[in-house]
Chains A and B, each alone.
Chain A
Amino acid sequence: MTATNDTLFEQFVDAFSADGNTDPLDYVRRAAPESRLALANRIDDYLTHAPRRPLEQRPADDRTTEETVDAMMRSLAGHSGMWPSMLPRLRERARIKRSELVERLADALGVSARREKVAHYYHQMELGVLPPDGVSDRVLDALAAILGSSRERLREAAAQLGEPAADAPEAVFARQVSGEPAEVAALRSEDESQAPQLDEVDELFRGGR
């Protein structure tokens, strides 16, 4: 005998309220075929208006929220809009490691010999510290082709939120810098200690459209 939609709905609400990880489809599948869509829509409506889960229910090993908040902090405190969250996600979806992406990006831009510098700039894009206005269309077109996106989407995502507080980026990014590759760190110190003399790669990433 098939359970009624009312019963299944109540069972779902009880289970979801308790653990927050209940799959609604498990309940929808138990409804009569002709009433599944109605139950799914009812559950969807409930979820739309349900209150936030209290922090007291958050487990100590919840990495998902921490990673989400980290990426959003980089976006909020940085200069590159949603790139810090969007670029790693697109890369993951395309199943491309950062080193592989850098290699393909450098090849596509015709600067294979300056791969380390491309890595440096791409790292800055993921960290949210590279001003998007300086990044050329060529770079975004090449990146979009690798990641299955479009230049327009990448530009749109980079829309800034207004200037962050002056010392905010350094504090947010301090925890990221320790994880950067050695060659990127070397270029970072080179960048910081030398007078600016832009080469082809600098122009691509900092010279504007």
Chain B
Amino acid sequence: MTSMQRRKFHPRATDALQRLSDDELVAYICVARDAGDLNAMRDALTVLAWGNMAKIVARMRLRVPAEAAEEVALEAFEKAAMGAFRGESAGQFHSWLNKIILGVSSDWLRRMYNQREHLEPLGAGEESGSRLEPSVASESGAVELRLVTDEVLAQLSDHHRRVVEMHVFEGLSAPEVCERLDGMSPDNVAKIASRFRQRMRQALEGGT
């Protein structure tokens, strides 16, 4: 679109932007984009991002470990915003964002609990096909799983909890964990992670 063809666009002051709803902000950003007004886009995006990110991070802390919450929240916000700019949410930014928060946190949990088992041999006593498949698709499933995780972690010693956080949650390989923690062998790391998953399964089945 050339400047001659651009729509007439009147940028708004920050105060006025803050009074707009999320859907109105999305619409404003789209018009600013069509008009090629980068400053207006940036101002409105800042209002949208700053205003929503803290809430999304807090909601993610109810679903995923604290160290991952911000990254997963960013992913959810960007997906929701870009979907809205593509017109996929059609004036329903809020409910669209909600769906994406559930989807992104569910994806993260599945990856976190199952990834290691794809990469490394199963631990002692762990059978193939026993991969943890958290039921996180429902509205509160991920929150419930997070609380169970919290309880199971609380039963571990500080040292073992750190192993689980690094290996299972942060995705470090067993040798990488050993580099960071004294007195730990890759075999120990695998066993601790395996026992953690077994306890999680038992807790989710109500067997603790």
Contacts and interface: CB of A to CB of B under 8 A. Distances in A.
A16 to B, nearest CB: 7
A166 B1 contact: yes
User: Mostly helix, strand, loop or mixed at chain A's interface?
Assistant: helix
Interface stretch (A41-49, A99-107, A191-199): A41-49
Interface residues of A, number: 55
Interface residues of B, number: 55
A165 B41 CA distance: 12
A25 B150 contact: yes
Interface in A1-48: 16, 20-25, 28-29, 33, 36-37, 40-41, 43-44, 47-48
Interface string B122-150: 00000000000000000110011011001
Contacts of A85: 74, 78
Interface string B25-38: 00001000111101
Interface in B69-116: 70-71, 74-75, 77-79, 81-82, 85-86, 94, 98, 115
Interface in A64-119: 64-65, 68-69, 71-73, 75-77, 81-82, 85-86, 89, 92-93, 95
Interface of A: 16, 20-25, 28-29, 33, 36-37, 40-41, 43-44, 47-48, 50-55, 58, 62, 64-65, 68-69, 71-73, 75-77, 81-82, 85-86, 89, 92-93, 95, 148, 159, 161, 163-168, 171-172
